[in-house]
Structure 1
C-alpha cells in the first residue's frame, strides 16, 4: 500500500474545518486550512451553545492536546426533557424525560479555541478568502485559489484533496450542484447567551433555577402552542436559550443565515416572550445582551458527498435544522470518519477512501437530516403528511415519546470504517 504523505486543502476554519485538520493530521496527511476571517475568534458575539454526543466526545478527546481539556471546558447534559408551557396560566409540566442522555454542553467559541490551539501553528491560514478551484487533468491534484485579504494578493495552494467545510451555503457544493436550493423550514430562531457571572444570586437566576431545577445537567425543550424553546446552562455561569418562531422567510444579507436585528425587533420579541413563556424564562430573554436571529434551513439529502478529489463535510454536506442536536456532531464524526478512511486506504487509493467515507456517512446523515426536520415540525406544531399536528397541551404518552432525542437514527453510535 502506498504510504506517501497526502496533502489536503480545507476550505473553512470553523469547527468542521478544524476537526478535519486534526483527523487528517492523525492519518498522516499534511493539511492547510483556508479561513477568510483574519484572526482566531476571541469570543463570538453571536456564538452560542452546542451539545456534544458521546461519539463526538471520543474524537475530540483523541485530537486535543490533553484528554482533560474537553471535560474541563464543558458541563454535562445528563437529561433530555421535553415539557409544555400553558401560556395563559403560566405553568409547565413534563411530557417526557430521559435521564441517560450523556451529552456535554459547550460554547462554540471555546470548542473552536480548544481545537485551534491543539493544531500546529502553521496549519490555518487566516485572512485567506477562498475564490475557486481546479482539478488537474489526471485527477491527481487540485489547485485552490485564495485572496489574502490584508494584501489583496491571490495565492495558489495545491493538494491531493480539497475538503469543503465552508458551511450550509457552501460555494464548493454550489459548483457541483448549481441548482440546489436550501429549504426554508417555515420558522426562524431568536437565540442568545445570558452571562450571569457575578449575579448568580439575582432574582432572575434564582427564579429560573426554581422553575428549571435541573439546569446545569439538563437539556430543556419547552413547548407551547405553535412554538418551542430550548434552554440549557453553559460553563462559567451562562444560560443558552433558543426560541423558534414561525414566520415568512426573512431576507438574508451576505453569506450567512444569521441576521443582525434592530432595537425595535428586540423590543417586540421581549413583549411576545412575556405572553408565551413563564415570567422566569421571559426575564432571562429580556436580560440577554445582543440576541440574534438564525433563519432555519435544511436541505434534502444529497446523492453524493464527493466528486473526484473534492469532498464535502459538515454543513456543506448536509445542511440540517437544529432540533436533533446534530449539526456539530455530524461535522465532527464526518471529519473523524474521513480521516480513518484516508489512513486505511492511503494516498494511492484516494478514490476508494472517499467511496468508503461516502458509503458510511451518507446513509447516516441522510436519515438524521430528515428526522431533525420532522422533530422541528412536530415541536413547532406544523403539518406533517402522516400525522395530525402535535398539540403539546393534549399530547398522548406515545406522541410525547417521539420527542426524545434518542429517537434520532444512529443516536447511540454511527458506523465507522472498522465496523
Structure 2
C-alpha cells in the first residue's frame, strides 16, 4: 500500500461508501466512515437483489484479499465473489399475454456475463474485507464546513447512543449518503428528485425448503433458464423482473403505473398495509402466469419502492467535497446501473487520487468529475427511457411501446447491452 496521501471522511456505509473505502485505502489514504445504522451488517440475507456487470466484478475482485494457500493465483478471489453470487449469462425480454397467460420471447442475449447477488451479501463481502476500526456506527451526519485556511473539511455527526455531537477533520469529504443526500442538498438546495410515474413491488422468496420445492419445480417448467437468466416480462402498461439468487431464492420486482404517493421520512420505501398487499396479489392474478403469481403470493413482507431519478448533475465536486453513488446520480433501476455506477465511481476516484496525491487534490477531483459525469449522465437518461418503454409510457421521440405488436427494431432498447458505456467504460 502506498504511503498515506491524506485522510477522507466518508458519510454513508452502504455499498457506495464501503466501495469508496476500498478504493481510498488502495490509494494510500486514511479513511473514517460515519454510518447512521447502529451496527455492522449481519450475515442474514435481507433486502433485494442486484446484478454486477463484468467491470464491477473485476473491480471487486481486486479489492478482495488473496489467501496464501492460493499461491498468488488470482482464481482465489474470483472464487470468493462467485460463492456469494450466481451467474446471469442470459438477458431475456418477453411479453406475457394477460388473457392467455402465455409468454413469447422479444429479445434474448446469451452473452450477458452478469452475476446476481443479495444486496446484503455483497455489502457483507466488501465490509468484512476491511479493517473494522474504520467504521463508526450510529453516527448521524449533521453538518460540515471547510476550514478557514481551506486546507481541511470538518464534519459533525451525532452519536445515536449518547446524543453527543462530535467532529472529524479530513482532507476530503466523500458523500455516499444516497439518492436523498443531505450533503448534496447543501450545494443544490433546489434540486428535486423526479418521480418516474410508477412504483415497484419487490420481494425475495426462499424456495429451498421441501415444502416450497414444488414452487421451484413449477418455475423451472415455465422459466427454463432459471438460475442463469435475467427475465424481464412485459405486460400491457407494466413489466416485471425475475431472477434467482444464491441458495434457491427468487428475487422479483413488479412495476405499476400510478400517481406519486406521499412519502414520509427520509426514504423512498413506502409502508404497506395488508389491504395494499392483497390488492396487489389480486392484480397479479390478472396479469402474470400462475407460477409467478404463486411466488408473489408466497413472499412474506413484500415492500413498495417509489421510483425516482433526477436530471443528470453537471457538477459532483465542490472544493473538498465529492459525491459518489446515488448521491451523484439518482437513477431508475432498469439498466442495473445503481450498484455498478457506485462501484465504478469509487474505483475511478481512487485512481484519480492515486495520481494526484493530496497536494494536487483539486486536480484529482476535477479529473474524477470529468470522467464520470459524461458516462453516468447518459446512463441515467437511457435507464429512464428503458423504464418508460417497458411501462408503456409516452416517449419524447417515439410512439408508446406495445409488446404485442413491437418489431425487432423497436425491441432493441429493451436489452441491457445497448446501455451507453455498457463495456469499456473509463
Say whether the fold is shared (TM-score over 0.5). Answer: yes
Q: Which runs of structure 2 are paired with 1:334-349 in the superposition (5 Å)?
A: 334-349=345-360
Higher mean Cα deviation, 395-404 or 177-186? 395-404
Length-normalised TM-score, structure 2: 0.95
Match of 1:276 among 287, 296, 312: 287
Displacement, 1:412? 1.0
Q: Distance in 2 between matches of 1:354 and 1:199?
A: 53
SS at match of 1:402: helix
Q: Which one of 374, 391, 394 corresponds to residue 383 of structure 1?
A: 394
What CA distance in whole angstroms lies between the structure 1 residues aligned with 2:396 and 2:249?
A: 39
Residues 45, 121 of structure 2: 8 Å contact kept: no
Question: Given the alignment of the two structures, is residue 261 of structure 1 paired with residue 257 of structure 2, yes or no?
Answer: no
- Which secondary structure state, in structure 2, belongs to the residue aligned with residue 114 of structure 1? helix
Give the equivalent residue in structure 2 for 1:8: 8
Write the distance in 1 (CA, Å) between the matches of 2:44 and 2:423. 31
| 379-388 or 62-71, larger mean C-alpha shift | 62-71
Q: For 1:145-188, what per-residue CA distance to the aligned partner results, in whole angstroms no more than 9, with x for missing partners?
A: 00110011111000000000000000000000000000000000
Partner SS, residue 242 of structure 1: strand
Q: Secondary structure of the residue that 2:210 maps to in structure 1? A: coil
Q: Which residue of 1 aligns with 2:179?
A: 168
Q: Deviations over 1:89-112 (max 9, x none)?
A: 100010000000000000000100
Distance 1:99 1:328, change over 3 A: same
Partner deviation per Cα, 1:119-162 (whole Å, 9 max, x = no partner): 11111100000100001123211000001100111110000000
Q: 252, 255, 273: which is aligned to 1:244? A: 255
Deviation for aligned residue 1:413: 2.2
Q: Does 1:109 align with 2:120?
A: yes
Give the gaps of 5 or more residues in structure 1.
none
Give me the whole-angstrom Cα distance separating, in 1, the residues matched to 2:91 and 2:215. 23
Residue matched to 2:322: 311
Once the two structures are TM-superposed, the CA of residue 254 in structure 1 deviates from its matched residue by 1.2
2-structure distance, mates of 1:4, 1:112: 26
Q: Give a deviation string over 1:347-367, Cα, whole Å, max 9, x none.
A: 100000000000100000000
Q: Normalization by structure 1: what TM-score?
A: 0.97
**Contact 1:4-1:347 within 8 A present in 2 as well:** no
- Is 1:82 aligned to residue 93 of structure 2? yes
Question: Contact 1:196 / 1:238 at 8 angstroms: preserved in 2?
Answer: yes
User: How far 1:385 moved relative to its partner?
Assistant: 1.3
2:333 corresponds to: 322
Q: Deviations over 1:358-413 (max 9, x none)?
A: 01000000000000000000000000111000000111011112210001000012
Secondary structure at the counterpart of residue 56 of structure 1 = helix
8 Å CA contact retained: 1:3, 1:347: no
Distance in 2 between residues matched to 1:269 and 1:121, nearest whole Å? 42
In terms of mean alpha carbon deviation, does 212-221 or 132-141 score higher? 132-141
Kept in 2, the 8 Å contact 1:382–1:390? The answer is yes
Counterpart contact for 1:45–1:290, Cα < 8 Å: no
Question: d(CA) in 2 for partners of 1:353 and 1:5?
Answer: 12
Would the aligned equivalents of 1:382 and 1:389 in 2 still touch at CA under 8 Å?
yes
2:36 counterpart of 1:33: no
Distance in 1 separating the partners of 2:384 and 2:369: 22
Match of 1:156 in 2: 167
The alignment partner of 1:84 has SS state of strand
- Runs (4+) of structure 1 exceeding 6 A deviation are none
Instruction: Give the aligned partner of residue 294 of structure 1.
Output: 305
Distance in 1 (alpha carbons) for counterparts of 2:192 and 2:249:
36
Measure the CA separation in 1 of the matches of 2:305 and 2:45.
13
1:241/1:43 Cα in 2 relative to 1: closer, same or farther (>3 Å)?
Answer: farther
Alpha-carbon contact 2:4-2:30 (below 8 Å) kept: no
Relative distance call for 1:38 and 1:182 in structure 2 (3 A) is same
More displaced stretch, 396-405 vs 166-175: 396-405
Cα deviations across residues 330-349 of structure 1 (Å, max 9, x unaligned)? 00000000000000111100
How far apart are the structure 1 equivalents of 2:57 and 2:384? 24
Segment of structure 1 superposing worse, 221-230 or 2-11: 2-11
Provide the residue aligned with 1:354 in structure 2: 365
Describe the SS at the equivalent of 2:405: coil
Cα deviation, 1:243-302, whole Å, max 9, x if unaligned, reads: 000001111111111112111111111000000001110110000111000100000001
Report whether the alignment pairs 1:221 with 2:239.
no
**CA–CA distance in structure 2, aligned partners of residues 358 and 178 of structure 1:** 20
